[in-house]
Amino acid sequence: MTQDELKKLVAQAALNYVEEGSILGVGTGSTVDFFIDALKASGKNVPACVSSSVRSTKKLQALGYKVLDLNEVDEISVYVDGADEINPSFDMIKGGGGALTREKIVASVSKKFVCIADASKKVDVLGRFALPVEVIPMAVRAVAGKLRALGGDPVERDFTTDNGNRILDVRGLQIVDPKAMEATVNAIAGVVTVGLFAQRGADVLLLGTPEGVKTFIR
Ligand code: 5RP
């Protein structure tokens, strides 16, 4: 099976977690794009969504979904999003699509985080995928220096986030303690968000494998 076929499988499986009549949190990325398409095809009653990116908002609106600003919402029952890497403790690296900050905010107000990922995303130790860090533009050089001091090799991505910031992709970090690393990087002046989701990891992992969808629950 191709990676896209595995992504479609988990996108379809995530429909079982959609609570009809409730506001749905929607992440960002190619797996989530498949999920949005599957949601539309399912005809499930989703009165409104909260989206983690301009990209997902545009796609949802084009399909007729109402998208609310998070400031209009108290709580979200279910948040569906992909990941770049996920470890056995359900900690994740996210931000390959550059939407990490809004993803982390939406995840923080969601009761259940359903991670949809193809099998290539499951790892024992996070860090093979370059860790994205969203940075205030004037602080790129300063933050890069601090990340080098932590043992990382940061490279500025040719990309501006939905929030008008820059991304540093950091290679070379062996993230054995994701919660500690999340706190350390978030504490660097100029960092908006690190793409480590350990303080608030996933609750459910739907993993697309050639043998079918495997479900892991925390
Ligand atoms: C975007 C993300 C995505 O969830 C992550 O990059 C996975 O993307 P894809 O579903 O395209 O493999 O964190 O910021």
103 flagged as catalytic: yes
CA dihedral 183, 184, 188, 191 (to 10 degrees): -50
Of 103, 134, 182, 211, the active-site residue reads 103
Q: What is the pLDDT of residue 197?
A: 98
At position 48, the amino acid (one-letter code) is A
Q: What is the mean pLDDT of residues 77-100?
A: 98
Q: What is the pLDDT of residue 203?
A: 98
| Summary mean pLDDT of the chain | 97
Rounded Cα distance between 126 and 59, Å, is: 30
Whether residue 165 has pLDDT greater than 90: yes
Whether residue 174 has pLDDT greater than 90: no
At position 182, the amino acid (one-letter code) is E
Q: What is the pLDDT of residue 135?
A: 98
At position 161, the amino acid (one-letter code) is T
How far away, in angstroms, is 8 Cα from ligand 1 center?
14
Rounded Cα distance between 42 and 51, Å, is: 19
Q: Is 151 left (phi over 0), alpha (psi -120 to 50) or beta?
A: left
Whether residue 168 has pLDDT greater than 90: yes
- The SS3 call for residue 104 is helix
Could you give the maximum distance between any two Cα atoms of the chain, in Å? 51
Q: What is the pLDDT of residue 172?
A: 95
Q: What is the value of pTM for the model shown?
A: 0.97
Q: In ligand 1, which atom is closest to the CA atom of 94?
A: 13
Whether residue 73 has pLDDT greater than 90: yes
Neighbours of 142 (CB within 10 A): 15
Q: What is the pLDDT of residue 101?
A: 98
Q: Are 70 and 109 in contact (CB under 8 A)?
A: yes
Whether residue 161 has pLDDT greater than 90: yes
Render pLDDT for 37-61 as a digit per residue (tens, 0 to 9). 999 999 999 999 999 999 999 999 9
Residue nearest ligand 1's atom 6 by CA:
96
